[in-house]
Structure 1
Amino acid sequence: MTHDGSMSPSTASANDPSAIAPVSAWDRYQPWRRTVEVLAWVILFAVNAIAGTLTTVIDIHRFDLDIPHWAPAVWETSSCVTALALAPLLVWYTRKVPFHIDTWRRALALHLLGSVVWSVAHVVGMVTIRKLVYVGLGESYDFGSWGMNLVYEYLKDVRSYTYMVLWIEGYRLLMRRWQGEASVLTTPDDVPEPAVPERPERFLVRKLGKEFLIAASEVEWLQASSNYVNLHLRGRDYPLRTTMAAIETQLDPARFVRVHRSYMVNLDCVGEIEPLESGDARITMHDGSKIPCSRRYRGALRQERRAA
C-alpha cells in the first residue's frame, strides 16, 4: 500500500498489526480456509449419516422389523446428502439475515420462514434420491402421506436448521475475533462531543484480546458486507459494524471515493482504471486487488483523480 511520506517507520510499526506479526496464524489459515470449511461440513453430515444408520439398524433388530438391511443406509445417506447440498444456500441466507440485538425479531421471523423452505427442499431432495436408489435396486419406495410426513419431517428439520445456524454464526464470530474487528476511535469521556461528528483519524482494532490503532488514511478500500463494512489494508480485512452510507459521511471525500454500491476506494491506492464495454469500469489497486466501478460513480472517480 501507499504510506504517508510524513509517517516515520517507528510510527508505522506501532500502528500496523501486521508489522508485529508479518505471518500470523490467521494468514497461514487463509489458503486452507475453504478446504477446512468444506471438509467440516462433509465430516459433520458423514458422522450424522453413520450414527443415524447404526441407530436405525439397532431398532430394526430390536423390534424384528421386516426391512432390508441396506434400507437404513439409503434413508440416512439421502437425508445427509441433501442437507449437505443445501448447506451453501443456508450459509448465503444467514449472511442476508444476520442476528443482531436491534433486529433479532425480524431475523427470527425470517429464519422461521427459511426453516420451512429448507425443510420442504430437504424432504423433496431426499425422497427423490430414495426413489431413484430403490428403482435401481428393483424396489419401490413409498414416502406415505405427504401432509403428515412433511409436518413430521419439519419437526426434525427445524432443530437441524437451528443447530446449523448456530454452527455458522459461531464460526463467523470466531473468525471475526481471530481476524480482528474495527471500531471508530471514540472521544474520551472528559471531552465534550462535537456538534458535527469529526472524521475519524484512526480506527481501533481488537484482535484476540489485543488492541491496535490503524490510521484511516492507510485503509486501501472498503467493502460492504451485510451489517458490516470491511476495512481492507495490507491484505487483511477488518469488519467495522456500520453501513457504507454512514462511513462515507465520516471519511475524507478528498481521499475516499465511492465507486460502487458496495465499495469505496482510497485514491492514493488506485493503480489503474479499465473501462468496460458495459459502461462500468474495473479498478486495479496497488496491491493487485480488482474493484468493480459502476457507471454511476465512474465520472466522479475520474474527476477526483484529476483533482488529486
Structure 2
Amino acid sequence: MDARTPPTSAPIWRSRTLQIGFWVGMSLIHAVSNSLTVNMDIRRLGLPIAPWEPVVWEFSSNLVLLALVPAVVAFTRRFPLHWDTWRRQLPWHLVASVVFSVTHVLAMVALRKLAYATQGDSYGFGAWPRELAYEYLKDVRTYASMVVIVETYRLFLRRLQGEARLLDPPEDGEPVEPVDRPERFLVRKLGREFLIAAADIEWVQAAGNYVNLRVRGHDYPLRSTVAGLEARLDPGRFARIHRSYIVNLDLLAAIEPQDTGDARVHLKDGTVLPCSRRYRDALRSRLAAAA
C-alpha cells in the first residue's frame, strides 16, 4: 500500500477512470467530427488535399491537447479561479494560456511533420508569427474551456460531498465556543447544513487552497491551509505528521519507521498516512508521554 495515497471509498463521480474517460472521449469526438467536416468541405470546394491530411491535422491537435490536460488540472489546483480570487489569479492564467498555446503548436507541428514524412510528403506550417497568433486565438478559448470544465467539476464535487466552514461569530453577545479553537464545523451539503465535532475528524489532508477533513469515511473540504487549521485544532488531540497531513492521535495505532528516516502512521481503521522525519520524533515523544 502506498502511504502517500490513503484509501478512500470514492464514488463513481470521483473515479479517476471516469475523469480520464471524459477527456479521452471529448478529444476523440472532436477529432473524428472535425476530420469528417473538414474533408466534406474539401470535397465540396474541390481542393487538392488528400483525405488523410485533415485526419492528421485534427488528431495531432487533439492528441496534444489531451496530453496537456494534466498540466491544466495541476495549474488550476495551484491557481484556482474562485469568485474571491479570480482577479488575483487571472494574470497567471493569461500567462499560462500563452505557454499552453506555444506548447500545443510546437508539439502539433512536430507530429504533423512526422506523419507527413511517413507518406513521403512534407508539412508546411506557414509564416510562424502569423500562424502562432492565429492558433493562440483558438487555443485561448480551448484553455478557458478546460479551466471552466475543471473548476465546475470541482465545484460540483464540493457541493455533492459537502463543504465545511468555521462557525460564524454571533452578531450579538459572546460566542458559545472559542472562535480561535472551534469545537465544531458547519458542513453544507446539497442545501442542508449540519455540524461535525472537531473531535470526530480522523485526519486532515492538504488539497490546494483547501484542506480535506476526513470524518467517518467522508472528505469535507475546508478553505484553509494545513498550518492555519493546525493552529485552531486542539494540540492535545491532533498532531502534524507531514507538511500535508494532520492526524487525530486518538485513532493512531502504530508508527512504522522507514529506511529513509521517514515513517508511516497506521490508524485503527487500517488507513496508512505518511509521516516525515521532521515530525516523526515529536510524534513519538507525544505518544510516549501520553503512555
**Counterparts of 1:55-70 in structure 2 under 5 Å?**
55-70=37-52
Aligned equivalent of 1:33: 15
Which residue, out of 98, 119, 122, partners 2:104? Answer: 122
Aligned equivalent of 1:137: 119
By how many angstroms is 1:59 displaced?
Answer: 2.4
By how many angstroms is 1:269 displaced?
Answer: 1.0
By how many angstroms is 1:27 displaced?
Answer: 5.8
Structure 2 unmatched ranges of 5 or more: 1-7
Which residue, out of 166, 171, 175, partners 2:157? Answer: 175
- Cα 1:31–1:153, aligned 2, differ >3 Å: closer, same or farther? closer
By how many angstroms is 1:200 displaced?
Answer: 1.3
Q: Return the alpha-carbon distance in structure 2 between the equivalents of residues 198 and 72 of structure 1.
A: 62
Alpha-carbon displacement from aligned partner over 1:147-167 (angstroms, at most 9, x marks no partner): 221111111100000001001
Checking the alignment, whether the CA contact within 8 Å between 2:177 and 2:183 is kept in structure 1 is no
Checking the alignment, whether the CA contact within 8 Å between 1:95 and 1:226 is kept in structure 2 is yes
2:216 aligned partner, one-letter code: R
Checking the alignment, whether the CA contact within 8 Å between 1:269 and 1:285 is kept in structure 2 is yes
User: SS of the counterpart of 1:284?
Assistant: strand
Which residue, out of 155, 161, 165, partners 2:137? Answer: 155
Alpha-carbon displacement from aligned partner over 1:183-232 (angstroms, at most 9, x marks no partner): 12333333335997342111111111122221110101101111111101
Checking the alignment, whether the CA contact within 8 Å between 1:45 and 1:81 is kept in structure 2 is yes
Deviates more, 1:165-174 or 1:267-276: 267-276
TM-score (norm 1): 0.86
Deviates more, 1:57-66 or 1:234-243: 57-66
Aligned equivalent of 2:4: none
Checking the alignment, whether the CA contact within 8 Å between 1:231 and 1:237 is kept in structure 2 is yes
User: SS of the counterpart of 2:205?
Assistant: strand
**Counterparts of 1:73-112 in structure 2 under 5 Å?**
73-112=55-94
User: SS of the counterpart of 2:85?
Assistant: helix
Aligned equivalent of 1:256: 238
Alpha-carbon displacement from aligned partner over 1:95-114 (angstroms, at most 9, x marks no partner): 01111344322311111111
Aligned equivalent of 2:5: none
The CA RMSD over aligned residues, in Å, is 2.0
Q: Return the alpha-carbon distance in structure 2 between the equivalents of residues 193 and 109 of structure 1.
A: 40
Q: Return the alpha-carbon distance in structure 2 between the equivalents of residues 121 and 236 of structure 1.
A: 38
Deviates more, 1:193-202 or 1:288-297: 193-202
1:74 aligned partner, one-letter code: V
Checking the alignment, whether the CA contact within 8 Å between 2:204 and 2:214 is kept in structure 1 is yes
- 1:113 equivalent to 2:95? Answer yes
Q: Return the alpha-carbon distance in structure 2 between the equivalents of residues 256 and 44 of structure 1.
A: 44
TM-score (norm 2): 0.91
2:209 aligned partner, one-letter code: N
User: SS of the counterpart of 1:258?
Assistant: strand
Aligned equivalent of 2:190: 208
Checking the alignment, whether the CA contact within 8 Å between 1:79 and 1:126 is kept in structure 2 is yes
- 1:288 equivalent to 2:246? Answer no
Structure 1 unmatched ranges of 5 or more: 1-25
**Counterparts of 1:15-26 in structure 2 under 5 Å?**
none
**How many aligned positions are there?**
283
Alpha-carbon displacement from aligned partner over 1:232-273 (angstroms, at most 9, x marks no partner): 122221001112122111110000011111111100111111
By how many angstroms is 1:287 displaced?
Answer: 2.1
Checking the alignment, whether the CA contact within 8 Å between 2:163 and 2:222 is kept in structure 1 is yes
Checking the alignment, whether the CA contact within 8 Å between 1:254 and 1:304 is kept in structure 2 is no
By how many angstroms is 1:31 displaced?
Answer: 8.5
Checking the alignment, whether the CA contact within 8 Å between 1:220 and 1:232 is kept in structure 2 is yes
User: SS of the counterpart of 1:188?
Assistant: coil
